[in-house]
Structure 1
Amino acid sequence: MSVSSQHEGLCLRYPEPLGPQANVSYEAAVSMLMRAIQLAQHTPFVWGYIDKPQEGHIYLIFMTQQLPFPPDGIRYQDQEQKIIMPAGPGRELEVMEVKFGFVPNSSDTTAWRVRRRYRMHKGGHPQLVLIHYGRGQPMPIMPNLNQPVRNYPLRPINEPALFVMGEKIGQKVYPNQHSGPAERPGPPGMGMSFGGIGNQQAMLAQQNNNLEALERRSQRDRSGSMNARAPPPARIEDDDSADESDMMSTRTLALTRYKRNHELMNEVFMYAAFSRKKEFPPPKSPYSVFDIANVEARVAKMTAEIDELRSKAEARREARSNADGAVGDDPGDVSMEVSGTTEEVPT
């Protein structure tokens, strides 16, 4: 595939036609994206364009991180807005919406087109993108923007279909190969159609029935194809093939290698860690680092020193007490001299 074709909007699309729908609820988008993961395991995506889609058209594409979102032939007069909302336990849905679109130099007299992109931000496959084209509030067309957004005529497509997920990831399917539902259109009512406009529960039930029927048909086609021809070559375990590296993003390849290496390492270290229980000796007493005899000798020495200090202190107190008693027994001179004469102090 040439670089110019990529820039012109050539993208990998789900081969089955998706039924038109006026509106797509968030619950329906999540259900479609989760079922698309199962279908993409066994259905190759085809190269194609999204060009001037009509109101209600729905597309399922596989986007790589190396390429921008493909142009669709519509000019938009608004900036695309992004929101992320919870979609159940461990899941988050990303919604990208842009309004006020019109097809330049066409019958569009106002900018009324709305495009919404849905993908699983968490809990699904982030490279599967569901696109819905609807109708919104009209706005006058700006004359300076009434120019085509891509070059016409579009280049013809000669690229084979490609498996984007599953065991056959990266394998190409050429037109002369018979490989299930990707080589021929499905009968009416098959595929991932939403059904008619009506009760939401009825639409989801019809959608699930259609998807299950498509899965059963894919399994029958794969079984018949395997019986009709020789078995396919063994799966190549090396993730570094040229086709896969060209078509898959670096993040996807790194995640695949990480999971594979983690499984191999887990087989080795799980047995080494949990094959048998190790018997550990009971923990030592915290006092085991001390020598009892040494401690007792130090205690005896300190006790003797304390007794000696107490004896000295008692002797000092006794000596001080004796000294104070000797001083108290001397009556001293109690006479007083008055005007040079000695007079006895009366008692």
Structure 2
Amino acid sequence: MPRIILHLDMDAFFAAIEERDTPAFRGAPLVVGADPMGGKGRGVAATSNYLARAYGIHSATPISTAWRLSEAARRAGKPPVTFVSVDMKKYARVSGKVMRIVRCFIPRVEQASIDEAYGEVSWTGSYEEAERLCRRLKVEIHSEEQLTASIGIGPNKLIAKIASGWRKPNGLTVVRKEEAEAFLAPLPIRLIPGIGPKTEDILKAKGIKIVADLRAVALHQLEALLGKRGADFHEKVRARDDSPVEEYSEPKSIGEQETFEVDTLDSHTLLNQLDELVRGVIDRLHHEGFHSFRTVVLTVRFADFVTKSRAHTLAMATDDHATLRREALKLMLPFLDQRENPNRKLIRLLGLRVEKLTNSRLSWSSTPTYSPTFW
């Protein structure tokens, strides 16, 4: 029996929910994210619908940039963007409903985020049957939630995930094992999971732009260029991925962040915000069923967008509010003096997260909670 994996990715999930719930938004460019404040907003876009993406606005686009792109479109005679604030509680509720539908069709499901999941469908016995199952699943999601999903079907998670983005929105792409290497060959290297902007620049400097180029590089050369990751990419570009579909994927961290309306180095403002972040993190830790953490990570983004993170791992796990505040404060104080901020740069964003979590309610049916992070 062949190994067959699917990856389901909801289309422009946050924006699609807002369009569904507010008919006036339909047919207009829509961005879900921070308040643009007439171009002076300081957050980011969480997501955008496909009309807004045509303007160049994507997830994590600075909201001030999104505003400028909207204004440029308006001046060109096109519809301006409608900006909507994020409602994570609503999106999480809808996600839970969608994932319950998915689990009615597929016994083994790994929820990868609030709007995507992997499914083990080898039991269908063939790619043809898997495709029929997925078409029924897509119809059911649309019938129950009036939302569309794109699905990729492949011999492993790697191929399935790339395939799910192939014909968005509302797509269904099947890549059989014998087709997988040819499917990958012409794709930009950036589509290989793990290749970010910095790695892409390193590879492009060597003339490596598409997967076929990367596949032609010998293993020892990749390891010399990229270290241990070289071996991982050597496997991926050959469509090899043995990672299992895990029925429960535990969140790796819980975090909160705040972008200040005005860049600041005022200790009173920063300490007050740190207290708010600590409360938010502890509240979410308990709400999501975790009873302790060991690692504390503080992230600071300066006014010039230089971003630094500092972390400390405790000797013992805890969920104590005072302990988190103390450790967070110890990590933040160097950013107020010569140790981490010798040029006295103003701070734009403060973020706090905890890692190495201990879960008190682990079960196959648990639904991981998505925490959008743009640090």
- When normalised by structure 1's length, the TM-score is 0.19
- For the pair shown, the structure with the greater C-alpha radius of gyration is 1
More helix by share: 2
The TM-score with structure 2 as length reference comes to: 0.18
Q: When you count strand as a share of all residues, which structure comes out higher?
A: 2
